[in-house]
Every structure is written in structure tokens, then in C-alpha cells.
Amino acid sequence: MTLNNNSHENQLNEIMRVENLNFTYENGYKVFENINLSINENRFVSVIGRSGIGKSTFLRLLGGFLKPDSGNIYLRGKRITKPNPQIVLIHQSIVTFPWMTALENVKISLKSKNLTEEEENYRARKALEMVGLQGFEDLYPKEMSGGMRQRVSIARALAAEPLMLLMDEPFAHLDELTAEGLRQDIYNILFNPETNLKAVVLVSHNLTEVLELSDEIFILNNMPATVVAKIEVNLPRPRNPRSDEFNRMLDQLYTYLGSSSNVRG
Amino acid sequence: MKILLMLMKEVIDPDSRIADLVGLLYTLNNIFNGKTDLYMLEKEMEVDVDDLMPIVYTASLLNFVKLDNGDISTTEKGVEFIKAGIKKRKEIIRDSIKDIEPFYTAIKMRKFKLEDLQKELIRNGIQRFNSPSGLHELEVIFIEWGVYSGLFKKQEEEYVLVTQ
Amino acid sequence: MNLLYVTEIIIFAAIVTTLRVFGIILLSITSGWLLSYAAIKSKIFENIYIPLNEIFESVPVISFFPIVLVLFVNAIGGILGVELAADFLVFTAVVWNIWMGEYQAYKTVPNEMVEVGENYNFTLGEKLKYIYIPFSIPRIAANLFPSFADAFFYITVSEVFSIGVHQYETFGIGSVIVYFYSRNEITYVYYSLLIMAIIIAISVYLLREFSKYAVAKYTVDTDAPILRRGRINLKQTTRVISSITVTPLSRLARYYRFRNNVPEEEIFEKEEHGYNWVKYIPGVIAIFVFILILYYSIKLVISIPSVTWDYLLSLTPFILLNMLFDYIRIAIIAIISLVFAVLVGYYLAMHKRGEAILVPIIQTFSAFPPPIYFPIVFGITYPFVLHYFGILTTEIYVLSIGFISTFYYVLYSFWMGLKAFPSEYFDVMENFQMNFFQKLRYIILPGTFPYLISGITSTINSAWGGLMIGEYWPNIIGDKNLEVKVGLMKYISQATLQGNIQIAAWSSFIFSIVVVLYSLLFTKHLMDLARKKYVAEEGIYAA
């Protein structure tokens, strides 16, 4: 069930490559300079950095929602130029459509595929089942708690059978207990053998969360930002945030981030 | 007999969520090795009492955790729940809520609108939902615990018992 | 005539008309401040005031114009009577929307603010000055533009009018232009239109600036705005959006929500010691006015001989038939406006640059009153239209007047709805590569539904004004007439012109009953649905 069991055999299969990525905001502020990285299959990858460094912007670049000044992003060797259902963004603010039932909310992701109504329904139901929401097909979002709504949006993403998921602080709007519950489930849901999913990129400011979930962590720093470090996390799952090893790694992450103040000064 | 009656009147807290139960049990199990003080839990989870206690009460009511003088510990069922997959978890919840109100009364009614359930509960002496927000609370409880676990399904405005 | 002298007259007339417009709007706003306060303080007054407002908001007041004119001209007479009649028409065209907006703003003043005022023993004047009035300003600013456009439309129509053989007029750009048309001084008409265009463009600019200022200064961040990280450059606009969105949406959401909460409110209402009698005043006045209206209505009904009643009743099927034709016209105008709004609105929301240029142009154009320039358009295009459309020519023109005088409402609403759309929705649509029609069908139309309903409602109401002038326009230019064969608005205009006030009044009465029924049965139902289900802002969960 967990990723590490099978990740080693596939480790060399690259799913995403980012080459010499540069990006500048409309106001002229340069956010990223020469970012290079590579993400392998079956990895849960996180991107961290101090607040304001442009983590969300980075995810949007990966997904093709923003266009880089220069540089390229490849998903399985194919250049990403605009958003597509192969790589789905999950928002921090949980997005559902209040006029649609849970099932219809999920089916939205299948519209561009020109499937039959039956096939749409079948896939959407399967996706809802994967996130544990069978029985909720005909319920409206406003009848659901925040945690369940985020599950609907994850089901919507999974129904599109993406290769990669981009998660922008997906637990930020949930209270800590709910977030913890969803966090623990999410890993198993995402790397369920039934999904097509090859990798997840998470952006979060919650370092404990990042350490709990990730196989690999990229650290952004400096202005404009570059990747200053890449850390492999080989702790066994489920991870105990109170263990010494966990805390040692946490300390290491903070060290990388802390050095930013020197660079900035 | 008196004790039994009192137990009967305990209900699932409308502010408790399934995801909270998972979060609570995970934290207890993985971080505290199954037992800790409530205040330690509060500190670890960085939540306040209002957020924490509803699920603690409910989890204890459903026998996933045991409360004892400010200590909280996971039960066998709690451990089983955490280790299970989604299907099994739903089954465990289904079995656990059957004897707890408002589901105890609801199962007897089999098919009902929440208004009717509310009246029936009040008739049976359960005053917890006898308030303007009572209906909404019932709806939350039924969707969160009843529909999620597959014990009930929602058809239009009615809830129907799912016969296994 | 020498040009300099004419220029002076035109500028003076344009300014007089503009001052009328602003004066009337100002009067609407200030009276609304007091009435709204009375409404939130007195249940009785509120229960009369609000339904009346709703009814008058949904009845195209122009249908009452003939009766109002007769009343004013007969009762007051002279220049003053004509002036007041014209002003009153404009007042009734703009006031309901403004009053409702203020009432809603008052209703949504955060309880904490009210409590602060009570805590420091604010007097009535202080409460209004420091709490209620400032709080209502963003809402007023948002409502101002449509009121402004409406006011210009009606003022130019009402500066000159005829009843029977008498023509009444009051000085202003409308009457000056009619004079030029009648003398066939088309060059001077162009000249007047140009000056009017400049004045309207300046007014639009000032209104936009005022709107921005009002929003920046008076918007209260009551509900924390949803953080939209990742969308660059959105910060500047969020505040504007968050307050402007208040308009159409609140029409549905807040207003109903607050009305439905009435019982709860009563429980918490605190005693105002020593002031108890004050809160009965508005109620008493309301009842008094109500009785007065009832008394005069009964008196009027009794005074009309039964022969006349029989005659009027026998006309009713004919009136209804005429109305049916008008409803078909209205439906066509509404559909065209809707399609136009969706296409243009979508383009505007997607293209920042196009938006910055086009929106002020569209606003200026829509505030530019069709009654003053349409004759020229008619004169120029008539041969072509006749050639290509033959017997449909008249309908084309009538529908065009309807369209240009009303398309703005639904366009503006829709555009606002899209601006208030959570940016995440656009991401989702892009992410799953939906095509244009899928976007419209699944996301955009449902998501802007409350805005569309509110916009379509305004469009339909104003379209009646367009029909009123378009269906029967004798000597529109030169000796040409614009006249439909069948139509209630024409029927009413003609009756008025022939001095047949009883028929005009009876037709207006039947008409308003149908309109009110339509609004109660249809519009209300849709609004309820919209408020329950289609609130896009609820689609984003952010604790």
C-alpha cells in the first residue's frame, strides 16, 4: 500500500522535468531564476520555502496556468504549455460547485473527454468511492463538511486519471484534527493501485505535514528563488512526528529555511 | 436500569467529524503510543477545547477511545479502525453507531424525514435536538456518520435505512 | 440663429437637464436614508414599505406617465406643474432601486457597530451620520450608474409631452432637441448630441471616480475576503469587486436572509426607553397614507359612471391582446440582450485590456438617452432597413430602441457576476479543458444565475420604457412616423394623445396588475431558486 515498497524499482522513470525556469510577475518582480529539477515516478514530492517566495506560483507554472518567461516544463517528455487534465491542481480554498451534486461535481473533469453519460457516471462513482464517499453521489456540497468537500475535489481530480497532482496547501482551511485525518488518508488514496497517478507535488508551509507525507522535499530560497536543496525522506511510514529522526529532519529543514534571512540581508 | 437509560440518552455530537476521528486515533496511536493526557493531546494537535472535545466525546461514546481521569487511550476497536482500509472502517462505524442516538431511533423508523425523526426523538425523551438548530444538527450527523458509513442513504428529502 | 447663441442655449439646456438628474438622484438618496431607518425600526412601516417598493420596482412607471401628467398639470398647473410632472416621472423611475439598496445596506449593518452606537448613546442624527449613512454609501455607489442612465432616459422623454391638443414642455436638452427636430435643424441636433455626449462622458467619469472612492473609503471588511493567492494583480480589484458584488447578489441573498430572520430579531430587540412612541410614527404615517390611497381609489371608482365601466371592461380583452404582442417583443429583446451580454461580458471578463477601454465606452453609450439621438439614426438607416427587412422594418426599429435602452443591465450584471466568480473556477475550467459551451453550460451560466436573473429583470422593466417611446412616435423625423400595428404601449400613448385619459388609465392599471403578477409568480420564484442554489461564492470553502 505504501509507496516506498514499490518506488525503488521505478525510481529511474522520470515523470516531470523542469529546465531553466524563469518567471517574473507582471509588476516586474522576478520570482524564479533558473530553476531546474526532476521528479521521478511514484514519488510524493513537496516544495517548501519561506512565505512569499512564490510556492503557489511555482505550482501554477508546473500546471501550465502561468507561462514562464523562459525555460520549459515537461510531463513525461511532453512540454506543458497550457493546463490539461493530465496534471490537476487542487486548491487551498476548497473548490466545489454548489449547484451540482457530488457526482456532477466530479463529472466536470470528464467533460473534455467526450465520454458517454454512462461512462462518465461510472468513472465519477469510482472516483468518489476511492475517496470514501460512496453514498454521497446525490448530495450537494453545502450538505458536507469541509473535509468531505476537499475529498470531492480530490475525487474530481482522480476521475480525470491524471499522471500528476499539484496540491496547494490542501489542508490549510481545515481544522487540525480534520486535516490530520485527511492527511493520513490521502497518501493511501492517492497511491491506491487503482489510480493512474504517478506523482504528487505538494506545496505547504506546515513542515510537519511535509515531513509526514513526502518522499522528497525541494527547498526554494533566495531572491529570486532557486532550488537550494533537495532532501530525500526515507523514514518508514506511518511516520511519528515525535520520533528523534523526525525531529532531526525537521531541524534540518528549518536550517535551510533559516539561512534565507542571511541571504536576504 | 437507570444507568442504561442515561446511556441511551447520549448522542453523537453534531460537531464531530469522521475525519476528526481518524485524526484523533492516528495521533493517539502514532504519536502517543495509544495513551496520553487530554491536555497533551490538545497541545500536540494545536486545537482548543471546543474543537477537540466533540470528537473525544463521540469517540468515547462509540468505544474507540477510553476516557479516564483526564487520560485518553485507544481501545482495541480504535486500533482496528486505524489499521483498516476505507471499506472496513465504514463497517466498523456502521456497527458502532447502531445503538447510539439518533441512529437507534432512526433504525426503528427505517425511512423518515428529519422533521419526523426529530419529533420521534423528543417523544422518546431525547431533548438534545429539541432546538431551532436541532434539525440542522441532525442533518450534519446523518450525513457525516449515517450516509458516510452506508447505514443510511439519502433519497430526496428522506433518509432510508440500507439493508445489508 | 447665430451659432454662438445656439451653443449657449444648448450648453445651458444640457446643464439644466443634468442638474435635474443629479438633483432627483440626490433627493432619492437622502429620502431613502430616512425611510430606510424608519423601515428597520418599525415593523409595521417595513411591512408596508418593502412590498410597495418591490411592486413599484417591477412596474414600468412609464405606463403611469399619462395619469401622473394629468394630475400634476391639473392640480398645480403652469410651468411649475409641468416641471414637477417631469421630475416626478424621473423620480419614480430611479427611486425604488436606490431605496431598496439603502434599506438592504441598513439591514446588513453589523450588529457590533449598532451596539457601539447604543453604548455611547448616539442620538438618531449621530447614528445616521456615523453608522448607517457611511455604511450605505458603497451600495449607493454601486447602484448609482443604472439610476443615472435611467434618469437621463426618462428626463429627455418627459421634458416635452402632449395630452390631447396641448403640448407641455419644460426647458432642458430634451425639449431643445425636439425643437430642433421640429424645425428640421439637424445640424443643431448633431451639435446638441455632441455636447450631451461630452457632459455624459464627464458624468460617467465622475461617477466611476466616486464609486472607487466610496468603495475604498466606506467598504467594511465584515466577512473576511477569501484569500486568492496565485492570481497576480488581483489585489487591487478584490476590494472593488467585493463591494460591488454586494449589489445584485445581496438583492437575493442578504435581503431574503434578513427578512426571513425577522422573528429572531424581535427577540433581541432592545427597549428604547423614552423613545417608544417614536417608532410608531412611521407606522402610523404608513397606515394613514394607505387609507388615503384607498379612500381616493374608492372615490374615483364610484365617481366613474357605470356606462364607462362597462365600456372599459369590454375593452379589456383587446388590451390583453395588445399586451401579448408587447410581451413577445419584450421576450425577443430580453433574449437578444442575454446573448449579447453573455458573449460581450465573457470577453470583457477574460480580457483586461479590452475591459479597461470598453467598459467606460459602453457605460457612456448606455447613459446616452436614445430618445434624443434615435430619430437621426432612424433617418439615416431607414432606406436600408426598409430595403432589407420590408414589412418587418417597424419591428426592427422598435426592438432596436428596446435593446439599446436596456441591454446594459443584463450585461453589467453578468459581467459583475463573472468578476465575482472565484478565480479557482477559471482554473478548474482550464485544467479540465472544457470548451466554451461546456464552460457556459456547467459553470458560467449557473454560477452567474443570480446576477443574470437580477439583470434580466431590470432589462425587462426598462424595455417597457423603450417600447413606450418606440411603438408610437409620430413625426420621428421629418414627416415620418414610427408606429407599430398592435401594441399596448402604442395604445396607451395614442389614448393619451387623444385626451382619452380613462382608457389610458385603465390600460395602465390592467398592465400593472399583469406585471405585478408576473413578478410575483415568475421573477420571485427564480430569485428564490437562485439564492438557494446558485451562489458561486459559496462554492469556495475557506474556514
Is some CB atom of chain A closer than 8 A to the CB atom of C224?
no
Of B45, B139, B148, the CB nearest to A177: B45
Q: Do C446 and A175 touch (CB under 8 A)?
A: no
Q: What is the CATH number of the domain that holds A214?
A: 3.40.50.300
First-last CA distance in chain B: 31
pLDDT of the residue at C245: 34
> pLDDT tens, A70-115?
999 999 989 999 999 999 999 888 889 989 999 999 999 998 888 8
Nearest Cα neighbor of A197 from A226, A160, A238 is A160
Within-domain flag for B144: yes
Q: How far apart are CA C289 and CA C49, in angstroms?
A: 11
Global ipTM: 0.86
| Exposed / middle / buried, residue C43 (Cβ in 10 Å: 0-12, 13-18, 19+) | middle
Are residues B23 and B66 part of one domain? yes
Q: In what order do the strands lie in the sheet with A70-75?
A: A30-40, A14-24, A70-75, A78-79
Percent of residues, chain C, with pLDDT higher than 70: 84
Peptide bond into A83 cis (omega under 30): no
For residue A74, give its domain range.
4-86+162-264
- Burial annotation C432-471 (CB, 10 A radius, 16+ → b, else e): bbbeeebbbebbbbbbbbbbbbbbbbbbbbbbbbbbbbbb
Helix (H/G/I), strand (E/B), else coil: C538:
helix
Co-location of A168 and A241 in the same domain: yes
Residue A259 forms part of a structural domain: yes
- The answer to which of A60-74, A106-120, A172-186 has the lowest mean pLDDT is A172-186
Q: How high is the pLDDT of residue B51?
A: 79
Find chain A residues with C-beta within 8 A of C443's C-beta.
97, 108
**pLDDT one-digit tens code per residue, C204-239:** 888 888 888 887 777 665 433 333 222 222 222 333
Are residues A242 and A191 located together in one domain of the fold?
yes
CB contact under 8 A, C427 and A89: yes
Taking alpha carbons only, the member of C191, C63, C167, C150 closest to residue C371 is: C150
Residue A199 counted as domain residue: yes
pLDDT in the model for residue C359:
85
Domain count, chain A: 2
The domain locations on chain C are: 3-221+239-270+304-534
Answer whether residue C63 shows pLDDT above 80. Answer: no
Beta bridge partners of C483: C472
pLDDT of residue B131: 81
Contact across the interface for B26 and A139, Cβ inside 8 Å: no
Asked if C541 lies within 8 A of A96 by C-beta distance, the reply is yes
pLDDT at C41 over 70: yes
pLDDT of residue B9: 58
CB pair distance less than 8 Å for C538 and A91:
no
Q: Give percent above pLDDT 90 in chain A.
A: 36
- Structural domain for B122, as ranges: 90-161
With respect to residue B46, please indicate whether it lies within any of the assigned structural domains. yes
pLDDT at C224: 33
> Is the domain of A131 the same as that of A171?
no
Burial of C258 (C-beta count, 10 Å sphere; 0-12/13-18/19+): middle
Let me know if residue A48 belongs to a domain: yes
Q: In this predicted structure, what is the pLDDT of residue A164?
A: 93
Residue A208: inside a domain, yes or no? yes
The answer to whether residues A118 and A230 belong to one domain is no
**Does A112 lie in the same domain as A73?**
no
**Of C463, C465, C443, which is closest to residue C455 (Cα–Cα)?**
C463
Interface test with C, best of A111, A114, A139, A144 (most C CBs within 10 A): A111
Domain boundary pick from A130, A159, A188: A159
CB C46 within 8 A of CB C262: no
Q: Do B69 and B23 lie in a common domain?
A: yes
Q: With b meaning 16 or more CB within 10 Å and e meaning fewer, what string describes A30-62? A: ebbbebebebbbbbbbbbbbbeebbbbbbbbbb
Among A160-169, C321-330, C509-518, the range scoring the smallest mean pLDDT is C509-518
Q: Look at residue A91 and tell me if it is in a domain.
A: no
Please tell me whether the peptide bond between A238 and the residue prior to it is cis, using omega within 30 degrees of 0: yes
Chain A contact for B55, CB < 8 A? yes
Position C276 confidence tier, pLDDT thresholds 50, 70, 90 = low
Contact of B105 with chain A, judged by CB distance below 8 Å, is answered with no
Using the beta-carbon criterion (under 8 Å), do B46 and A176 form an inter-chain contact? Answer: yes
Taking all residues of chain B, what is their mean pLDDT, rounded to a whole number? 83
Judge if A246 and A117 occupy the same domain.
no
B66 and B109 part of one domain = no
A172 and A73, same structural domain? yes
Report the C-alpha gap between C99 and C139 in whole angstroms.
11
Q: Does the residue B3 lie in any domain?
A: no
* Minimum-distance CB partner of A135 among B46, B89, B147: B147
C431/A83 touch (CB, cutoff 8 Å), yes or no: yes
If asked whether residues A126 and A237 sit together in one domain, one would say no
Q: A55 to each of A85, A95, A260, B104, B159, how far by Cα in Å?
A: 21, 19, 15, 49, 44
Q: Which residue of C has its CA nearest to A24?
A: C232
The gap between the terminal CA atoms of chain C, to the nearest Å, is: 70
- Give the gyration radius of chain A's Cα atoms: 18
Whether residues C543 and A108 touch (CB distance < 8 A) is answered with: no
In the predicted structure, residue C433 carries a pLDDT above the cut 60: yes
Q: Total structural domains in chain B?
A: 2
Identify the H or E element spanning C541. Answer: strand C540-541
- Return the CA Rg of chain B: 16
pLDDT at C280: 67
Scan residues 160-179 of A and list those with Cβ closer than 8 Å to B.
Answer: 174-179
Cis peptide before A224 (omega within 30 of 0): yes
Same domain membership, residue B61 and residue B111: no
pLDDT-derived band at B1, boundaries 50, 70, 90: very low
Predicted model pTM:
0.78
Q: Mean pLDDT throughout C151-158?
A: 85
Q: How does pLDDT run across C160-175, given as a tens digit for each residue? A: 877 767 778 888 888 8
Give a yes or no: residue B65 inside a domain: yes
CA separation for the pair C60, C74 (Å, rounded): 23
**A16: in domain:** yes
Q: How confident is the model at residue C50 (pLDDT cuts 50, 70, 90)?
A: confident
| Cβ contact C49:C104 at 8 Å | no
Say yes or no: A182 and A229 in one domain: yes
Contact indicator for C159, C89 with CB cutoff of 8 Å: no
pLDDT in tens, B110-120: 888 888 888 88
Give the burial class of C411: count Cβ atoms within 10 A of its Cβ; 0-12 exposed, 13-18 middle, 19 or more buried.
buried
C84-93, C150-159, C245-254: which has the minimum mean pLDDT? Answer: C245-254
Please tell me the predicted confidence (pLDDT) of residue A215: 92
C229 touches chain A (CB under 8 A): yes
Report chain A's terminal Cα–Cα distance, integer Å: 46
Whether residue C543 and residue A175 make contact (CB cut-off 8 A), yes or no, is yes
Q: What sign does the dihedral C23-C28-C29-C30 (CA atoms) show?
A: positive
Same domain, A168 and A152: no
C489, burial (CB in 10 Å: exposed 0-12, middle 13-18, buried 19+):
buried
Q: Is the CB of B86 less than 8 angstroms away from the CB of A176?
A: no
Write the DSSP assignment of C283-331 as a string of letters: HHHHHHHHHHHHHHHHHHHHHS-HHHHHHHHHHHHHHHHHHHHHHHHHH
A136, A159, A182 — which closes off a domain? A159
Nearest Cα residue to B14 out of B111, B101, B119, B122:
B101
More confident residue, C70 or B153: B153
CA distance C434 to chain A (A): 5
- Written as one letter, the residue type at B30 is N
- Model confidence at C157, pLDDT cuts 50, 70, 90, reads confident
CB A141 within 8 A of CB A102: yes
Which of A108, A174, A175 minimises the CB distance to C432? Answer: A108
Work out the percent of chain B whose per-residue pLDDT is above 90. Answer: 1
Q: Which residue of C has its CA nearest to A146?
A: C541
Residues B72 and B100 occupy one common structural domain: no
3-state SS, residue C211: helix
Measured CA to CA, the distance from residue C242 to residue C234 in angstroms comes to 12
Q: Does B160 touch chain A if contact means CB atoms closer than 8 Å?
A: no
How many CB contacts within 8 angstroms connect chain A with chain C? 108
Helices then strands, each counted (H, E), chain A: 8, 11
**One-letter identity of residue C151:** A
| A88, A97, A150 ranked by CB distance to C443: nearest | A97
Contact A29, A183 (CB under 8 A): no
Select the residue of A65, A142, A149 nearest C430 (Cβ to Cβ).
A65
Q: What gap in Å lies between CA A225 and CA A32, rounded to an integer?
A: 5
**Mutant choice from A137, A145, A177 vs B, greatest count of B C-beta within 10 A:** A177
Same structural domain, A178 and A190? yes
Q: Are C539 and C425 in contact (CB under 8 A)?
A: yes
